[in-house]
Amino acid sequence: MEIFAVIMAGGVGSRFWPRSKEKKPKQLIKIFGENTMIQDTVKRLDGLVDNKNIFVITNKIQKPTVIEQLPQLPKENIIDEPFGKNTAACIGLASILIKKKNPEAVIITLPSDHLIKDDELFRDCLKNACDFANSSHGLLTIGIKPTRPETGYGYIQFDENEVSNNIYKVLTFAEKPNLTTAINFIEAGDFLWNSGIFIWRVDAILNAIRKFLPDLYDGLNYLENKIDTNDFEKELINVYGQLKSISIDYGVMEKADNVYLTKAEFYWNDVGSWEAVYEIANKNDDGNAIVGDVYTEHTFNSYIFSQNKFVATIGVEDLIVINTDDALLICRRDKAQEVRQIVEYLKMNKRTNLL
Give residues with Cβ within 8 angstroms of 151, minimum separation 6: 176, 177, 178, 179, 182
Average pLDDT score over residue span 189-193: 94
Q: What pLDDT was estimated at residue 176?
A: 86
**pLDDT confidence tier of residue 289, bands split at 50, 70 and 90:** very high
Does the pLDDT of residue 33 top 90, yes or no? no
Average pLDDT score over residue span 280-305: 96
Q: What does the radius of gyration of the chain's CA atoms come to, in whole angstroms?
A: 21
Q: What average pLDDT does the chain have?
A: 94
Average pLDDT score over residue span 28-49: 94
Does the pLDDT of residue 11 top 90, yes or no? no
Q: What pLDDT was estimated at residue 90?
A: 96
Q: What pLDDT was estimated at residue 23?
A: 85
Q: What pLDDT was estimated at residue 62?
A: 94
DSSP string, 118-141: -HHHHHHHHHHHHHHHHHH--EEE
- Three-state DSSP at 149 gives coil
State pLDDT tens for residues 120-158: 999 999 999 999 999 999 999 999 999 899 888 899 999
Average pLDDT score over residue span 250-275: 94
Reply yes or no on domain 3-269 having CATH 3.90.550.10: yes
Q: What pLDDT was estimated at residue 308?
A: 85
The two beta strands, 3-8 and 54-59, are: parallel
Domain with CATH 3.90.550.10 in the chain: 3-269
- Three-state DSSP at 71 gives coil
